[in-house]
A and B are shown apart, each in its own frame.
Chain A
Amino acid sequence: MLAVALSAQMSPNLTVSPIPTIKVTKGAATVVTVKASLPAGYHANSNKPTESYLIPLTLKWTAGPLQMDSIAYPPPKSERFPFQQPTDKPLSVITGEFSIATKFKVPATAPSGPAAETGVLRYQACDNKACYPPKNVPVNITVSVE
């Protein structure tokens, strides 16, 4: 491999806080909040970036007993960055700690007992001078269906 000192610019890791087991009732609705944070000095595009070619923050639930109803993403910040031209419009981003709330319906037919609900949080981060490839972070919750 080419011995070039590129390692100083490492892709930032978004961390997702562990989610305690959630008790749900068949036929009812529940809201699950996923708390996550980006290291200081980095930002990620919000769920609704200002340009079509930017990669949005998304949470996709992939498997589990619950039926996803809606997702409320964190309110974006409109910020300008040093790499932008003065004529560029501000970017719609998230920084630091943030929460994503998912409203689920619990099907009446859901099997009783504990079950895993799994999802993927996708983000693409930048700092003031560079951007890093999009990453997928697994999100796992345990639900106890009663």
Chain B
Amino acid sequence: MLKLLLIASVAVILGLVFRAPETRAGSPVKDNKDRKHAPEFALKDANGKLVHLSDYRGKVVLLDFWATWCGPCGIEIPWFEEFERKYKDRGFEVLGVSMDDDGWKAINPFVTDKKINYRIVLGDDVTGEQYGGVEALPTTFVIDRDGRIASVHVGLTSRKDFEDAIEKLLEAAPNAGRGAKRADES
């Protein structure tokens, strides 16, 4: 009995020490009929090339609003790097939208340090407003192959929530939701 108690206590302590970071529950994947088109944008990447969201049509996109000074963003970034490797061949891409006021001077060293393997563009307030007034970082949108927002995650979200959303969207056929509302429709 004493041995069992000891094992249970050790298990509890290990669980506390090696716990995963606390996360906020993300929104579940919306039904096709409830998804709205993600607002189009044209933002520059590190090479000065204009990147349009529409360039990604046909792919599942994880659109992450983040900043170098955001601690919770730094927790999610390694997950996104892994998603980029794991799902790229199935038609998935991560697109990071940095909201750093200092621009590439702040972003480039961070990207190098963290070995970020997905594309980063420099965001602005206009784009943040288009996406509902992004204030809290990270805020992440998972977008389906038809360019519609399937789930929104504000604040640090569990890795499983992201993976579940990505898997579900990758399995779905494109154009499954014709007639979806546009972003400016209520």
Contact = CB atoms under 8 A, between A and B. Distances in A.
Interface string A1-28: 1111111111100000000000000000
Interface stretch (A62-70, A99-107, A123-131): A123-131
Interface of B: 17-19, 21-24, 36, 38-39, 67-73, 75, 99, 101, 106, 110, 129-139, 149, 152, 154-156, 183-184, 186
Contacts of A9: 135-136, 139, 154-155
Contact of A129 (B19, B69, B130, B156): B156
A127 B135 CA distance: 13
A8 B75 CA distance: 22
The 8 closest A-B pairs by CB, nearest first: A82-B22, A9-B136, A4-B132, A129-B155, A130-B155, A130-B136, A131-B70, A83-B72
Interface of A is mostly: loop
Q: Is the interface of B mostly helix, strand, loop or mixed?
A: loop
Contact of B36 (A3, A53, A81, A128): A3
B130 A131 contact: no
Contacts of A115: none
18 contacts: A2-B39, A6-B139, A7-B133, A9-B135, A9-B154, A83-B156, A126-B70, A128-B22, A129-B24, A130-B137, A130-B138, A130-B156, A132-B135, A133-B99, A133-B135, A133-B137, A134-B69, A134-B101
A109 interface: no
Contacts of A124: 69
B130 A2 contact: yes
A126 B70 CA distance: 8
Contacts of A83: 21-23, 71-72, 75, 156
A86 B130 contact: no
A54 B102 CA distance: 12
Contacts of A82: 21-22
